[in-house]
Structure 1
Amino acid sequence: MASLEQRIQRIEDELAIGQLRARYCHLLDDRDWPAFVELFTPDGVFQGLEAVRGHAALMEFFSQRVPKLAEDFWHFCTNGTVEIDGDTARGRITLEYLSATNGVSHVSAGHYDDVMVRQGGRWRFQSRVITFYYLAPLSQGWAGRPFPGR
């Protein structure tokens, strides 16, 4: 059985990882690129629309290319799971993503698969891989048709 100190450390790690994931959404939506990039390890990887590695590539991708893909966006993450093994953690978290592109509102959902590491006492993303389930104009609905009765 784990000691009290180990159990408290586990709780503190889970809370810190939850804060890391929340900051990711807030900093991304606020387009605070310097703070956002610091959420990743120096060789951190983001894989979504394309794969980028390292702070310089992350900065270029998010500050230059992402704003061209959407005029505005909002990220909502829930149902996070995490398995912690020392200074490494792996988990999945569900994503709802709302955006506006060329004046058209879009809705999408998916999940992130995360590998996080503790470096210098702070949890950071070593890799974050996004899988989208769908992306559709809001007017069409995610299945391409409105809910029944509408």
Structure 2
Amino acid sequence: MGVAYEDRQSIENKKAQYCRFADTHEWDNFVALFTPDCAMEFLDANGQGFYDMGPHSTIPSARDLGNYLVQLRNVQQAIHMVGPLEFEQVDQDTIKTICTVTYQVGDIGTPDGVHGIGGGHYYETWTRKHGIIETSEPIIGD
């Protein structure tokens, strides 16, 4: 089953917004891209958690993700870049995607502190609810 053009465009637009909202600290808009019950996992190439989020590498909801990022990113600037997406239509209301994301991050106003470049593949499940496609199962890894 092929993915409809309109669905592809919607998802690609939301991936671009994901990057822009994260880079400009628009956390309310960023969180709105996800279903409320979305749990986000951060995994390394071996499938192990790599973010310091307590005992787990999973953030249990979109709101928790927003709260976490507000604390972390308001002292940092970042730029995210998304590569081309792969699409798989699972059923009428579910689409899985894989894409690369590269980011650069640094503390604002100082050459000291945290500065880095990273990236990986984003594995996401997009779900249509009430005609709107939102990501419901993002996994950021390898």
Identify whether the pair has TM-score above 0.5, normalized to the shorter chain: yes
RMSD: 2.0
Q: How many residues align?
A: 124
Q: 1:130 aligns with which of 96, 118, 140?
A: 140
Q: Which runs of 5+ in 2 are unaligned?
A: 43-50, 52-56
Partner of 2:18: 24
CA distance in 2, matches of 1:40, 1:19: 13
Relative to total residues, which structure has the larger helix share, 1 or 2?
A: 1
**1:42 matches 2:49:** no
Relative to total residues, which structure has the larger strand share, 1 or 2?
A: 1
Equivalent AA in structure 1 for residue 20 of structure 2: H
Partner of 2:105: 99
How far off its partner does 1:115 sit?
Answer: 0.8
| Greater relative contact order (CA < 8 Å, ≥ 6 in sequence) | 2
CA distance in 1, matches of 2:76, 2:61: 25
User: Which structure has the greater CA radius of gyration?
Assistant: 1
| Residue pairs, 1:105-116, within 5 angstroms | 105-116=115-126
How far off its partner does 1:15 sit?
Answer: 0.8
Partner of 1:80: 85
TM-score relative to the length of structure 2: 0.78
Partner of 2:59: 52
CA distance in 1, matches of 2:68, 2:40: 10
Q: Deviations over 1:49-76 (max 9, x none)?
A: 2311223312211212x327x6211100
CA distance in 2, matches of 1:117, 1:111: 19
